[in-house]
Amino acid sequence: MKMKNLLRAALRSLAKNKMRTFLTMLGIIIGVASVIAMLAIGQGSKQSIQAQISTLGTNVLMIWPQASSTGGVRMEAGSSQKMTLEDVTAISDRCPSVAFVTPQVRSSGQLVNGNMNWRTSVYGVYPNYFEIRNLNLMSGNLFTMSDDRSATKVCVIGQTVVNNLFGTDADPVGSYIRINKIPFKIVGITEKKGQNAFGQDQDDMVIAPFSTVQKRLMAITHIQSMLASAKSEPQIPAASQEITDVLKAKHNLGPSEDPDFTIRTQTDIANAATATSGILTILLATIASISLLVGGIGIMNIMLVSVTERTREIGIRMSVGARGRDVLLQFLIEALLISLLGGFIGISLGVLVSQLIANLLSWPVSITVQSILMSFIFSSAIGIFFGWYPARKAAGLNPIDALRYE
């Protein structure tokens, strides 16, 4: 039988029992729609986490010294003082995959402006810190490397600090504040960045030249950590490897020895943060797939009823020359049509529901082409899988018995 005629015969028999066809299809529709919606929710939350992670900067690598130990007593992580500015220079000179690298020290400071005061973190970094972390200035200018060399008392402050020391909407560029009683000139204000993935206010900080903070505020000689950025995302692993090699060489460690520092990349952090949402997505999609499976069983059930009901029709068709595979194909196409049509409606419904969730609950949703494609393939596979047995049964009928069937 030609495909066109097969399709027409299948459509006609589905149209004959509209209610039954619809109810059977409903199983698939609900299954596919829930798979689409659940995947959309999962993807959406994953993407929003990734978007937050990206506020850390672009292709960032964080380098921390390991814990120090004094006479067998081990101190907290990052307490080792072995990291020096020479390490920073070595990395920037010898690591081709690294775009920028800056030393970093962090101190707590009591900030005072007139009768207002505020306590926050003061970071000492090179100006390229702004490139690494993707920070922009809202007003004023950045300090320079020469400010660093001469340990100038200048700083850039975040919006939260402005609000607490000068009041909202103030532009204190050029004003002086005192940090731990030392006067600093405000040269710039950073753009608002909001909270990071861990709920930290990224606008509540002061950034000053590295040497200023290291020498004037903290009076230490080592550096606490380093921040670097790879030239591109695929180069992050390479950058990480190069930094490891350079630092090991600098610290006189053999290739087989454990490094005395830790590197964490932005990808690591993103993976850790999205792992939970990934598990959630799989869980949701699994539950939704079960309903799709139940829908498939519904198809099988109704196709079995249909084969029994139409035994005589099968007999007639066989008597005029239908071969087993003609009958098989006819019933298979019916099952496939139910599941594909159901899949199609289900996809549309799923997209609609996802939009509704996005609009009414303002949850982040993201519908991917993959999830639509997967639903489509999955529902047609279900049609073929669950349609096969009834169709096989129809094709195996003996024409004489089928014709006699009442």
The token pair at 82 is: 């072995």
Instruction: Map residue 105 onto helix, strand or coil.
Output: strand
Q: Give the interface segment with another protein, choosing from 55-63, 103-111, 166-174, 311-319 (CB under 8 A).
A: 311-319
Which C-beta is closer to another protein: that of 247 or that of 395? 395
Contact criterion met (CB below 8 Å) for 44 and 362: no
Query: How many residues of this chain bind another protein (CB under 8 A)?
Result: 23
* 112 near another protein, rule: CB under 8 A: no
For the CB of residue 400, give the shortest distance to another protein in the complex, in Å: 5
Q: Which residue has the tokens 């952090």?
A: 269
Q: Which residues contact 365 (CB under 8 A, 6 or more apart)?
A: 37, 40, 41, 43, 44, 354, 355, 357, 358
Instruction: Map residue 301 onto helix, strand or coil.
Output: helix
Which C-beta is closer to another protein: that of 54 or that of 311? 311
For the CB of residue 14, give the shortest distance to another protein in the complex, in Å: 12
* 119 near another protein, rule: CB under 8 A: no
Assign residue 252 a region: left if phi > 0, alpha if psi is -120 to 50, beta otherwise? left
Instruction: Map residue 190 onto helix, strand or coil.
Output: strand
Q: Give the interface segment with another protein, choosing from 251-259, 262-270, 319-327, 377-385 (CB under 8 A).
A: 319-327
* 40 near another protein, rule: CB under 8 A: no
Report which of 21, 1, 2 is spatially closest to residue 11, judged by C-alpha positions.
21
* 4 near another protein, rule: CB under 8 A: yes
The token pair at 13 is: 């028999």
Which C-beta is closer to another protein: that of 137 or that of 403? 403
Task: Identify the residue among 219, 320, 361, 369 touching another protein (CB under 8 A).
Answer: 320
Cα separation, 9 vs 16, in Å, equals: 11
For the CB of residue 323, give the shortest distance to another protein in the complex, in Å: 4
Which C-beta is closer to another protein: that of 119 or that of 323? 323
Q: Which residue has the tokens 């922009």?
A: 136
Which C-beta is closer to another protein: that of 2 or that of 181? 2
Q: Which residue has the tokens 């993707």?
A: 134
* 323 near another protein, rule: CB under 8 A: yes
For the CB of residue 326, give the shortest distance to another protein in the complex, in Å: 6
Contact set with another protein (CB under 8 A): 1-2, 4-5, 12, 16, 312-313, 315-326, 399-400, 403
